[in-house]
C-alpha cells in the first residue's frame, strides 16, 4: 500500500511541523561543522564550554603506547591483534576488522562476531580468514568472520565462524541472537579469481558452531554490495544498505513470505526468491519526489517513503541499483552502518560530494520509522575543513559503523579523512569525542590513521568494543560511563 501525499501531510502535522523525534536520539547535530537549524544557539553553547557543558567525558589524553587516546578515567585492552594473537587452530587472527556485535555467551562469557573486510584472492593478504573445514563458501575468497570469546577471567579465545566470503563489511545482529554478515563485493564466478558468485548475506551463529557448517548465501536479500542489515523484531522486515556509486546505492526493505517464523536456522529453509525485496521512493511534505538523500540540508527534515519492487534481485545481467530509471527510486551516497533502536532503523550516509545531486556533507544519520513510514534526518555533518587537525573540537567526518548507546544517543565510528575518532551524539544535539586512533600506519612526514569500525557495547553496557581496521585490532574500552544529559 502506498503512503499517499495526504497521509504523509497528516502524519507530519501530528508529529509537529514535520519533525518527528524518535527516542534516545532526538534532533542531533554537531559543532563547529554542523549544518544545523540553530547555528546561533550551537555557537553559544560551544562558547560556554568547548566540550558541551558537561556533555561527554572531556578531552582525550594521548596514549603513551600510541594506540588509543581516551578521556581521563578510561582505559582500553587489546582483545585481538592481527598477526599477533592466534586462533584456537593456531593461525594468526585475520586482518581488516570491520563490523561486530556482542552476544551473551555461556558461563558468563561475551561472544563477539567480527567481520574481516578482505577482498579478492587469498594470495593478496598476509592474514586471510583460514579455510576451516566445513565453514567455507568459496575457497578462493579471503574474507569471513571470526568469533571472539571473552571469558570472565579475561582469557580470550577465537575461532572461524565463516570463511571464503568477500569483503565482509558491516552486517547486523538478529533478534534471535545470530549475526548477519554482509559481502560488500559483488564479483561473479570467474571474476578476480572467484569460483562462486558474491554479493550476499550469510548468517553466523556465535553459540552453535555446528549451525555454521555448509554456509548458505541468503539470496532472497539480493546480490549487491551489501553494507549493513537490521531486522524489525515486531513486523519482521529486514532493512539493508548498499555502499555503491555510479549511480549511488540504495536502502532496501525485505518483506518475509506470509506465515514465516523467524528463529535460528530458519533462513536456511527459504527459497532464493522468498519474500519481496524493495527500494525506497521518498517524497517531501509537499508530495515532491526526492531523488537523493543529499537534498536534505536541515536537521529534522522528514521524508515519506513508498517501496518499489526490485525487478531482478540476483542481478543476473544488471546491478540492482541500475535496474531503476531516474524518478523511480531514492538514492544516497555511501550508505553504511545501521542499528535497530527506538522502534526503527538508524541509517548512515557517510558523505556526499560531486557524486550526489544535492548539498555536500560529511555525514548524515537518518531514522526510519516503520510505523509512520518516514525517514527523519537526525545528524548532519558539514564538510570538515581540516580533517588532519586533531585539536578541532567536534570536527568529525565520514561516520560509518553505528550503535545506539545504553547511555543515550548514538556512538559512531569515523571513517573519514585524516584523524579518526569514535564519537557520540547526544539526545540534545551535541557531539563529543570518545576515542582517537593514534596508531600511525603511514610515515612521520605523511601520517595515516586507519578507520574505526565494529563499534558495539557488551550486553551489560559496561564495555564498548571497537575495531581499528588496519592492521586489525579489536579493543575493549571501559570507564566511568554516564547517562548523557540533555
Distance, CA of 134 to CA of 136 (rounded, Å): 6
Judged against a pLDDT cut of 60, whether residue 194 lies above it is answered with yes
By CB neighbour count within 10 A (0-12 exposed, 13-18 middle, 19+ buried), where does 435 fall?
buried
DSSP reduced 3-state for 41? helix
Q: Quick one: cell of 195?
A: 569460483
In the chain, domain spans: 94-217
Q: What is the pLDDT of residue 391?
A: 63
Distance, CA of 99 to CA of 339 (rounded, Å): 11
Q: How far is CA 145 from the centre of its chain?
A: 16
What integer is the mean pLDDT of 219-226?
A: 98
What integer is the mean pLDDT of 152-169?
A: 97
Q: What is the pLDDT of residue 390?
A: 62
Distance, CA of 64 to CA of 180 (rounded, Å): 37
pLDDT tens digit string along 98-142? 999 999 999 999 999 999 999 999 999 999 999 999 999 999 999
| Residue 47 confidence class, pLDDT cut points 50, 70, 90 | very low
| Residue 16 confidence class, pLDDT cut points 50, 70, 90 | very low
Cα-based distances in Å from 153 to 148, 149, 388, 424, 426: 14, 11, 39, 30, 33
Judged against a pLDDT cut of 80, whether residue 346 lies above it is answered with yes
Q: What is the pLDDT of residue 5?
A: 45
* Residue 93: closest CA among 477, 472, 437: 472
DSSP reduced 3-state for 106? helix
Q: What is the pLDDT of residue 60?
A: 97
Judged against a pLDDT cut of 80, whether residue 175 lies above it is answered with yes
Cα-based distances in Å from 387 to 150, 353, 371, 390, 391: 35, 15, 38, 8, 10
pLDDT tens digit string along 243-277? 999 999 999 999 999 999 999 999 999 999 999 99
pLDDT tens digit string along 356-413? 999 999 999 999 999 999 999 998 998 888 887 766 656 799 999 999 999 999 999 9
pLDDT tens digit string along 28-38? 333 333 333 23
Judged against a pLDDT cut of 70, whether residue 41 lies above it is answered with no
What DSSP state is assigned to residue 451? P
Q: What DSSP string runs through 233-284?
A: TTT--EEEEE--TTTTB-EEEEEPPTT----TTGGGGS-TT-SEEEEEEEE-
Is there a contact between 334 and 349 (Cβ–Cβ < 8 Å)? Answer: yes
With cell 585492552, the residue in question is 77
Q: What DSSP string runs through 315-370?
A: -SSS-GGGGS-TTTS-BBSSEEEEEEETTEEEEEE--BSTTSSS--BS-EEEEEET
Distance, CA of 474 to CA of 467 (rounded, Å): 4
* Residue 403: closest CA among 447, 463, 482: 463
Q: What is the pLDDT of residue 435?
A: 98
pTM of the model: 0.90
Cα-based distances in Å from 72 to 50, 62, 262, 464: 16, 10, 44, 16
Residues in Cβ contact with 400 at an 8 Å cutoff, skipping those fewer than 6 apart: 170, 336, 337, 348, 350, 412, 413, 414, 415, 451, 452, 453
Is there a contact between 83 and 124 (Cβ–Cβ < 8 Å)? Answer: no
The answer to whether the Cα torsion of 154, 157, 161, 164 is positive or negative is positive
What integer is the mean pLDDT of 192-206?
A: 98
| Residue 3 confidence class, pLDDT cut points 50, 70, 90 | low
Listed in sequence order, the DSSP H helices in 4-153 are 5-15, 39-48
Judged against a pLDDT cut of 70, whether residue 4 lies above it is answered with no
Amino acid at each position: 500500500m502506498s503512503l499517499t501525499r495526504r497521509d504523509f501531510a497528516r502524519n507530519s502535522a501530528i508529529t509537529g511541523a514535520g519533525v518527528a523525534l524518535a527516542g534516545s536520539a532526538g534532533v542531533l547535530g554537531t559543532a563547529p561543522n554542523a549544518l544545523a537549524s540553530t547555528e546561533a544557539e550551537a555557537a553559544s553553547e560551544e562558547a560556554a564550554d568547548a566540550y558541551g557543558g558537561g556533555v561527554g567525558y572531556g578531552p582525550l589524553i594521548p596514549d603513551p603506547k600510541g594506540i588509543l587516546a581516551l578521556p581521563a578515567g578510561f582505559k582500553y585492552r587489546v582483545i585481538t591483534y592481527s598477526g599477533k594473537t592466534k586462533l584456537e587452530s593456531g593461525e594468526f587472527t585475520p586482518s581488516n576488522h570491520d563490523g561486530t556485535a556482542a552476544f551473551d555467551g555461556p558461563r558468563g562469557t561475551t561472544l563477539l562476531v567480527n567481520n574481516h573486510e578482505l577482498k579478492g584472492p587469498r594470495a593478496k593478504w598476509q592474514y586471510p580468514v583460514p579455510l576451516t573445514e566445513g565453514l567455507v563458501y568459496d575457497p578462493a575468497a579471503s574474507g569471513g568472520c571470526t568469533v571472539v570469546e571473552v571469558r570472565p577471567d579475561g582469557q580470550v579465545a577465537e575461532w572461524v565462524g565463516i570463511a571464503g566470503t568477500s569483503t565482509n563489511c558491516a552486517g547486523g545482529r538478529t533478534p534471535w541472537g545470530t549475526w548477519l554478515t554482509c559481502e560488500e563485493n559483488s564479483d561473479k564466478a570467474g571474476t578476480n579469481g572467484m569460483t562462486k558468485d558474491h554479493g550476499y548475506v550469510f548468517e553466523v551463529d556465535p553459540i552453535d558452531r555446528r549451525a555454521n557448517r555448509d554456509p548458505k548465501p541468503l539470496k532472497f536479500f539480493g546480490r549487491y554490495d551489501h553494507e549493513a542489515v537490521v531486522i524489525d523484531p515486531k513486523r519482521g522486515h529486514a532493512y539493508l544498505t548498499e555502499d555503491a556509486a555510479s549511480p549511488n546505492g540504495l536502502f532496501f526493505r525485505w518483506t518475509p513470505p506470509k506465515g514465516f517464523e523467524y528463529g535460528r536456522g530458519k533462513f536456511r529453509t527459504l527459497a532464493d526468491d522468498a519474500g519481496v525485496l524493495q527500494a525506497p521512493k521518498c517524497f517531501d511534505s509537499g508530495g515532491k519526489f526526492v531523488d537523493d538523500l543529499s537534498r536534505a540540508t536541515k536537521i529534522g527534515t522528514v521524508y515519506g517513503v513508498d517501496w518499489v519492487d526490485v525487478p531482478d534481485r540476483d542481478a543476473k545481467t544488471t546491478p540492482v541499483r541500475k535496474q531503476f530509471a531516474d524518478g523511480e527510486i531514492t538514492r544516497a551516497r555511501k550508505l553504511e552502518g545501521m542499528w535497530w533502536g527506538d522502534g526503527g532503523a538508524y541509517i548512515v550516509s557517510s558523505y556526499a560530494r560531486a557524486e550526489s545531486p544535492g548539498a555536500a556533507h560529511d555525514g548524515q544519520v537518518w531514522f526510519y520509522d516503520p510505523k509512520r513510514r518516514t525517514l527523519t534526518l537526525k545528524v548532519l555533518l558539514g564538510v570538515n575543513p581540516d580533517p588532519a587537525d586533531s585539536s578541532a573540537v567536534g570536527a568529525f567526518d565520514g561516520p560509518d559503523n553505528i550503535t545506539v548507546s545504553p547511555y543515550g544517543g548514538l556512538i559512531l565510528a569515523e571513517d573519514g579523512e585524516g584523524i579518526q575518532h569514535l564519537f557520540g551524539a547526544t539526545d540534545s544535539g551535541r557531539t563529543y569525542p570518545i576515542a582517537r586512533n593514534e596508531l600511525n600506519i603511514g610515515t612521520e612526514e605523511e601520517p595515516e590513521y586507519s578507520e574505526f569500525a565494529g563499534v558495539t557495547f557488551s550486553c551489560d553496557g559496561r564495555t564498548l568494543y571497537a575495531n581499528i581496521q588496519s592492521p586489525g585490532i579489536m579493543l575493549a574500552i571501559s570507564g566511568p560511563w554516564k547517562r548523557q544529559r540533555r
